[in-house]
Structure 1
Amino acid sequence: MILVIEDEPKLAALLVDYLRAAGYETQWVADGRQAVAAVRAGRPQFIILDLMLPGRDGLDICREVRTFSEVPIMMVTARVEEIDRLLGLELGADDYVCKPFSPREVVARIKAILRRTQNNQGLALPKGLLIDMEHYCASLDGHGLTLTPVELRLLNALAQAKGRILSRDQLLGQLYDDHRVVTDRTVDSHVKNLRRKLQALRPEQDLIRSIYGVGYCLDL
């Protein structure tokens, strides 16, 4: 789903029409105060974000979204000053287009960005889980996870395994940068801590499954 955050009804309708013609589901939000809630609830695969919005400006929205999501963001604005362009990209926007623009070009850019980000991600992560190894952060269902570096590497290893069982030895090889010598029980301890943090967000699920004598897998 592509979330269009734009307060001009005619422009928003035009974008929605072109996106739907290209095969994308869409959602439209016109008020900046509703934007972050829409991102959290809808978990879009892409966001088109106008800079000038009633209630809250696009730069502020982009800044907050980047605290819990790595969803690609395209900023759309009538501002052409270089400072606005640089500030938008520094806050985490993936692209920037100025009005007036061609809807066909916007759709083409979206397709290119989605191809690039999907290729960079490799295997798709389980639903609701976001992991950014470059910035050492992760979130589940839109809520940030406070993880140690070892716990983050453990979560990433389990997530990339896509439900396959990983042995303690396999996990040990991915947990420490300095190749220190540790015991199997060290993995068990990290799994216990990671499981507790995940269950705080999904108390109804045991997200890390233990297979006795074999290892662990992630059930998301």
Structure 2
Amino acid sequence: MLRVVKLGGSLHDSPWLTSWLDALAQAGGRVVLVPGGGPFADAVRAAQRRCHFSDAAAHRLSLLAMEQYGLMLCDLEPGLLPAATPQVITDAIAHGRTPVWLPSSMCLGASDIPESWSVTSDSLAVWLAHHLGAEALALIKHGESDAGDIRALADAGLVDSAFPGFAARYAKPIHILSHCAPATLDDWLAWPMAAPVSSREAHDACRHGQ
């Protein structure tokens, strides 16, 4: 069954990025990868502060930032394939590839996506998982956290403020995988036959450089 994985933009300069991309490519045919915005989204924020354009324009530019990050990931790992439409996603999965979602063509003008900073790549990952009928979603993030309390994650700023609403509509399992534990992807893909690695176990692996 299909699952969605969101790779945080903050991993763009992480020593773990290559291992994550390799793991995601090896999971071809089972996952769709949603890229964060990374330094490209940071550039949008900086430009908005200087130029004072609207949040709606910033939202649209941030979709393009996700696409820039996604194209960078595809260039770094040949096993990843850019995918802008459900048909391309379906074809990639059918051929055992890992599609990397380029969101603009599906998200621009979508009535259920607010054009504001309340929606970031985290909420868009849930939105995509809902629209694809994915059986589960994982967010790859820095730090130690637990997806058991979605509202607490939003209150702590670990996901955007719109995330709880999107997650409620999706109503399927959401897990958080630690940025420094790419080996946990296989455990998560085996779930529920095998339980995902806990956040504490992932934290210990990071601390010991595993």
TM-score under structure 1 length normalisation = 0.34
Greater helix content: 2
Q: What is the TM-score with the length of structure 2 in the denominator? A: 0.35
> Relative contact order: is structure 1 or structure 2 higher (C-alpha 8 Å, sep ≥ 6)?
2
Structure (1 or 2) with the greater strand fraction: 1
